[in-house]
C-alpha cells in the first residue's frame, strides 16, 4: 500500500475503524507500522480530533433549547399549512362564485315556457308527423326511401338512439289497432356491416316475440333500415295503398243514360 492510499483510508480509521473492510484495516496497520511519516501524520490528526471533540462536549447546552427548536419548527409548519388551507379555501370559493354566476346568468336568460307553446308544438308534430320525421332525417344527411314504404303516420316519436353501442336515428312505430310496435334504426355502411343480415323478417328466439327485417334504401346503396318489430308481420307498419288501386268507372261505363229503344 502506498502513502496516498494509506492517508485516504486513515480518515475512516480510529473511532470509525469499523467502516473499513477487514483486509483494508490490516493493510493500513501494516503500512503505518513501517512508515513513520504516515504514522506521525495519522497520530496528529487523531490528537486534533480528540481535542476538538472535548471542547465541543464542554460547551453547556442552554436550558430549554430543544423545546424552543421544536416549537419553532412546529410554528413554521403551522403557518405553511394555514397558508395552504387559505389558498385552497379561496380557490374553492372562487370556483363556487363563478359557477353560481353562470347558473344565475342561465336562469336569468332562460326563455319562458308556456302551456300554449307546449300544446302548439304538440299540435304541429301531430298534424305533420311524416314531414317532421323527414326533416329530422334530413338534418342528419338522410332521406326516407325504404324498399317497402313504411307508414310514417304511425311514428309515435323519433330521435337518436343506441344500437350496439353506436348512436343512430331511430323511429318508433305504433299500430294501436293491432297492438304492435316497431323500432326502425336507420344505419349506414360506416356505422355497421349490415349487408349480411337476412332480409326476410327472420329472427332468433325472443322472449317478447321480436322479429327483425332489413329494408334497403331505394336511392342509396349505403343506407338500410333495420326494423325490430312485434306482431303478425311487417305489413302492419306499411302504408295502406288499397285505395290507390281502386279504379272508378266512367259514367258511360255505368250506363247511367241508356239510349231510347
What tens digit of pLDDT does each residue of 125-180 get? Answer: 677 889 999 999 999 999 999 999 999 999 998 999 999 999 999 999 999 888 89
Cross-strand pairs, 211: 229
Task: List b or e across 175-187, with b for residues whose CB sees 16 or more CB atoms inside 10 angstroms.
Answer: beeeebbbbbbbb
Q: Region 231-252: what's the mean pLDDT? A: 65
Q: Region 99-112: what's the mean pLDDT? A: 73
From residue 123, how far is each of 117, 118, 134, 226 by CA, in Å?
10, 9, 17, 29
Question: Among candidates 227, 104, 100, 127, which has minimal Cα distance to 175?
Answer: 227
Backbone φ and ψ of 222, nearest 5°? -95, 5
Other CB atoms closer than 10 Å to residue 239's CB: what's the count? 14
246 pLDDT exceeds 70?
Answer: no
Q: Region 108-113: what's the mean pLDDT? A: 76
The pTM assigned to this predicted structure is: 0.50
Confidence of residue 226 (pLDDT cuts 50, 70, 90): very high
Q: Locate cell 322479429: which residue?
A: 211
Quote the distance between the C-alpha of residue 189 and its chain's center. Answer: 26
Confidence of residue 200 (pLDDT cuts 50, 70, 90): low
Helix axes 3-10, 22-34, angle to 10 degrees: 120
The pLDDT > 90 percentage for the chain reads: 28
Whether the Cβ atoms of residue 36 and residue 6 lie closer than 8 Å to each other: no
Whether the Cβ atoms of residue 186 and residue 171 lie closer than 8 Å to each other: yes
Instruction: Please state the length of the chain.
Output: 261
C-alpha cell at 177: 289497432
Amino acid at each position: 500500500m502506498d502513502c496516498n492510499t494509506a492517508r485516504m483510508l486513515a480518515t475512516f480509521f480510529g473511532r470509525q475503524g469499523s467502516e473499513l473492510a477487514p483486509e483494508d484495516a490490516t493493510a493500513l496497520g501494516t503500512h503505518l507500522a513501517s512508515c513513520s511519516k504516515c504514522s506521525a501524520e495519522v497520530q496528529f490528526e487523531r490528537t486534533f480530533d480528540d481535542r476538538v471533540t472535548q471542547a465541543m462536549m464542554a460547551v453547556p447546552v442552554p436550558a430549554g433549547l430543544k423545546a424552543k427548536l421544536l416549537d419553532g419548527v412546529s410554528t413554521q409548519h403551522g403557518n405553511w399549512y394555514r397558508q395552504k388551507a387559505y389558498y385552497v379555501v379561496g380557490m374553492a370559493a372562487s370556483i363556487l362564485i363563478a359557477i353560481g354566476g353562470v347558473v344565475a346568468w342561465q336562469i336569468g336568460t332562460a326563455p319562458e315556457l308556456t302551456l300554449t307553446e307546449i300544446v302548439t308544438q304538440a299540435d304541429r308534430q301531430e298534424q305533420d308527423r311524416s314531414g317532421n320525421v323527414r326533416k329530422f332525417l334530413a338534418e342528419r344527411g338522410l332521406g326516407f326511401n325504404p324498399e317497402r314504404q313504411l307508414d310514417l303516420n304511425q311514428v309515435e316519436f323519433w330521435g337518436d338512439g343506441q344500437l350496439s353501442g353506436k348512436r343512430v336515428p331511430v323511429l318508433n312505430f305504433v299500430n294501436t289497432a293491432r297492438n304492435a310496435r316497431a323500432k326502425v334504426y336507420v344505419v349506414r355502411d360506416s356505422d355497421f356491416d349490415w349487408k349480411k343480415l337476412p332480409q326476410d323478417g327472420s329472427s332468433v328466439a325472443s322472449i317478447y316475440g321480436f322479429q327483425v327485417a332489413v329494408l334497403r334504401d331505394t336511392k342509396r346503396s349505403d343506407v338500410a333500415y333495420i326494423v325490430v318489430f312485434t306482431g303478425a308481420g311487417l305489413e302492419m307498419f306499411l302504408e295502406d295503398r288499397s285505395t290507390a288501386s281502386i279504379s272508378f268507372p266512367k259514367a258511360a261505363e255505368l250506363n247511367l243514360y241508356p239510349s231510347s229503344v
